[in-house]
Amino acid sequence: MTLNVYTSANLAYSAQCATLLESIRLHEPAAHVSLLLVNSDLEDKKIGQLRALFDEVITSQDLLGKDHREWMNRYNVVEACTSVKGRALRHLLEREQPVVYLDPDTMLFSPLDNFRTQLDTCSILLTPHQVAFSIEVDEGIHDEMDSLLFGVYNLGMLGVRPTQQGKDFARWWDLRLERHCLDDSSRGLFTDQKWMDLAPVYFPETRLHLDAGVNVASWNLHNRFITLSDDGTYLVNGQPLVLYHFTKIQSIGRDSSIRKMLNNPLAADLVRFYLERLEYWQQVFL
């Protein structure tokens, strides 16, 4: 069965989207990869370049139709790009094939074999920010507190199967994001992500993917140690590195990562590699 992978971004993230796509083509070459493009300037030449790269480009206008202007006016850029993820998920699940969402600032380093195998046994598959507690309180407590504030599960990666419960979940999530995809911690909201804390309660066919090699990022580098295997591939706590999440790596994510790289130096190699590929694609889209 074909795996549908999608990501959501605006044109400012074209290079990130292309970098992600490049890694998917390498490690999941049979996947059908869609870009959900949230942008008002449909005449920009980058759109043609993106259409040539991706299997499919779905614009927010295509997805929302007459409701597009009102929907977009509710949100800032980040809120807008995440608010349509639920609607796109509903659309893709209609093809009766499993769907995986990946953030545009993620990158695959090996196939999604274990993730796909587990997704075959459930309807919704989530990846937590943290999969192990830290003995050293000073080292890990701030990341745990961030999980309490921004959500236990990271929505940079999500898997859903087209079961009845998977489709019910997509509809529930979409209805919440239509008007409440807000970055407003005073109301317990963090765009599309904080809603997911409720998913395992409402949808009992939800499972957690606890592979340390998935969703490696600045928020968990303190307990995900990167090494090299004998054949030169990256391992995380002895398991293959599958997905690295380079969130805000050119801004606040960089500072957080650098601090933790002192005890996890191979993470710096991954960041350098990602920034090199990102620079390449930025030149392509000039």
Phi, psi angles (nearest 5°) of residue 103: -60, 150
Angle between helices 85-93 and 164-180 (to 10 degrees): 150
Task: Name the E strands within 112-238.
Answer: 124-128, 153-160, 183-184, 189-190, 206-208, 226-228, 234-236
Domain boundaries, the chain: 4-211
Side-chain half-sphere CA neighbours of 73 within 13 A: 5
Q: What is the pLDDT of residue 255?
A: 64
- Could you tell me which of 266, 219, 218, 216 has the C-alpha nearest to residue 241? 216
- Count of CB atoms within 10 A of residue 209's CB? 22
Phi, psi angles (nearest 5°) of residue 134: -100, 130
What does the DSSP 8-state code read for residue 96? S
- CATH class of segment(s) 4-211: alpha beta
CA–CA gap between residue 47 and residue 208 (Å, rounded): 35
Residue spans of the chain under pLDDT 70: 40, 136-139, 251-259
Phi, psi angles (nearest 5°) of residue 220: -140, 15
As given in the structure block, the two tokens for residue 282 are 């930025």
As given in the structure block, the two tokens for residue 273 are 């590699």
Pairing of strands 4-9, 99-102: parallel
Pairing of strands 243-245, 106-108: antiparallel
Q: What is the pLDDT of residue 198?
A: 98
Q: What is the pTM for the complete model shown?
A: 0.95
Q: What is the pLDDT of residue 31?
A: 98
CA–CA gap between residue 186 and residue 278 (Å, rounded): 35
Angle between helices 14-27 and 45-53 (to 10 degrees): 10
Q: What is the pLDDT of residue 257?
A: 66
What does the DSSP 8-state code read for residue 262? T
Q: What is the pLDDT of residue 158?
A: 98
Bridge partners (DSSP) listed for residue 106: 245
Alpha-carbon distances, residue 241 vs 105, 212, 219, 248 (angstroms):
16, 8, 16, 20
CA–CA gap between residue 122 and residue 141 (Å, rounded): 31
What does the DSSP 8-state code read for residue 99? E
Indicate left, alpha or beta for 136 from its phi (over 0: left) and psi (-120 to 50: alpha).
beta
Pairing of strands 189-190, 153-160: unpaired
Q: What is the pLDDT of residue 142?
A: 83
CA dihedral 166, 172, 178, 179 (to 10 degrees): -150
